[in-house]
Structure 1
Amino acid sequence: MRIFTRLLRALAATLLVPILLFEEWGWEPLAALVRRLARLPLWARAEDWLRKLPPWGALLAFLLPVLLLLPVKVLALFLFGRGHAASGVTVLIVAKLIGTAFVARIFQLVEGALMRIPLFARWYPRWKAWKDRMLTLVRESRPWRVVRAFNRRIYRLWRRLRGQALQ
């Protein structure tokens, strides 16, 4: 039974790591984009309202973007089923970007209220610790380091070429 449990955990980690990497990459920048909407008076009032929600209202607000994007994801599956793979992938990527942006911003606004829910306060730190361990393992892996080094070289080359083009 222990072998089965370890295998199941390894499989779950393998399936979740790409999602974790995407969300880790996108969480702050996408939330910052949505935060810019607070310049609009109506949006600023909505953010104030979110900050003042009680714990269970905050949980509902946090889960609302996930629920609202379900029909979009069903649309993507429909497109896949009809042989429109590129359209399906595009819809999924756009939905993931929009969903991550709004979930990240809402989480920033309601985290305090969510932490007043005992179950959330108990499990969120465990989830965060597990996620951080997984991301550390990925970042310490040889393939990750090789790709990062390659990206840095390309970026330096790009900056050098761009600098020469501007002169």
Structure 2
Amino acid sequence: MTRPTRRRYRLLAPLVYLAALILLLEEWLWDTGTRIGAVIARWPPVRQLDARIRALPPYWALCAFALPAVLLFPVKLLALIAIANGHAVTGVAVIVLAKIGGAAAVTRLYSLTLPSLLTLAWFARWHGAFMAFKDKWIGALKGTLAYQRSSRAALALRDRLRRAFKAFRRRAPGGRHSMRATRILRRFVAMWRARRR
């Protein structure tokens, strides 16, 4: 490695680490959003709504796909105003919840509207070009040492958090008994709802 190349690498290294962290966060949000969407989709009214969204014509499907971004923009703006007025914890919590909720909505709407959207020639062309561009750059980023280090650090952090959560549950008052009590309470609520029907 020549001296100018080393210098350029040192200058760009923080940006590559930042891009790696953003990519890891986006992947986590997409996976979390997909799981949340799958859980919500089990609810019968949501299943009916999913069927209606799948049946939308292409331009209506495009409007439905853009809806979460439009609806969440004012929420994020209000969160930024809250942060600016000294309510940092509340503002950050709202942004994080909006990001997770938005990811859940976008992943669900993407899977529901994509077949309809791909019938639009211009959308199919731009979608294909964007996916090829994204795959190329994400592949290049995943090949960097910065991404591999960040990914290992994120996995280690996740494992530590899981172990800490398991240890907390074992030490919590009631431990397994409280989990058993929760299951009994859920069964009671289900039986009570069944009787009311």
Per the normalisation by structure 2, the TM-score is 0.65
What residue in structure 1 maps to residue 92 of structure 2?
89
Q: How does 1:36-115 map to 2 (within 5 A)?
A: 36-115=39-118
- Paired with 1:64 and 1:120, the residues of 2 have a C-alpha distance of 17
Give the residue type in structure 1 aligned to 2:73. L
Tell whether 2:138 aligns with 1:135: yes
SS at match of 1:83: coil
Gaps of 5+ in 2: 1-14, 171-197
Q: CA RMSD in A?
A: 3.0
Are the equivalent residues in 2 in contact too, given 1:114–1:120 (CA < 8 A)? Answer: yes
Are the equivalent residues in 1 in contact too, given 2:20–2:146 (CA < 8 A)? Answer: no
Bigger-Rg structure (1/2): 2
Residue by residue, what CA displacement relative to the aligned partner does 1:22-63 show, whole Å, maximum 9, x if unpaired?
A: 333322442232122222211110000011111001101101
- Paired with 2:61 and 2:45, the residues of 1 have a C-alpha distance of 19
SS at match of 2:41: helix
- Paired with 1:19 and 1:146, the residues of 2 have a C-alpha distance of 14
- Paired with 1:114 and 1:23, the residues of 2 have a C-alpha distance of 23
Q: Which moved more, 1:93-102 or 1:145-154?
A: 145-154
What residue in structure 1 maps to residue 35 of structure 2?
32
Are the equivalent residues in 2 in contact too, given 1:79–1:88 (CA < 8 A)? Answer: yes
Judged with a 3 Å threshold, the aligned counterparts in structure 2 of structure 1 residues 153 and 28 are, in CA distance, closer, same or farther, namely closer
- Paired with 2:24 and 2:127, the residues of 1 have a C-alpha distance of 18
- Paired with 1:16 and 1:149, the residues of 2 have a C-alpha distance of 15
Judged with a 3 Å threshold, the aligned counterparts in structure 2 of structure 1 residues 37 and 139 are, in CA distance, closer, same or farther, namely same
Q: Which moved more, 1:94-103 or 1:80-89?
A: 80-89
Gaps of 5+ in 1: 1-12
Are the equivalent residues in 2 in contact too, given 1:20–1:131 (CA < 8 A)? Answer: no
Tell whether 2:117 aligns with 1:122: no
Question: How many residues of Structure 1 are paired with residues of Structure 2 in the alignment?
Answer: 150
Per the normalisation by structure 1, the TM-score is 0.75
Judged with a 3 Å threshold, the aligned counterparts in structure 2 of structure 1 residues 64 and 16 are, in CA distance, closer, same or farther, namely farther
- Paired with 2:60 and 2:119, the residues of 1 have a C-alpha distance of 12
Once the two structures are aligned, what percentage of the paired residues are identical?
35
Deviation at 1:18, TM superposition (A): 5.6
Give the residue type in structure 1 aligned to 2:39. R
Are the equivalent residues in 2 in contact too, given 1:17–1:135 (CA < 8 A)? Answer: no
Q: Which moved more, 1:30-39 or 1:106-115?
A: 30-39
Give the residue type in structure 1 aligned to 2:141. V
Deviation at 1:19, TM superposition (A): 5.0
4+ runs deviating over 6 angstroms: 13-17
SS at match of 1:39: coil
Are the equivalent residues in 2 in contact too, given 1:138–1:144 (CA < 8 A)? Answer: yes
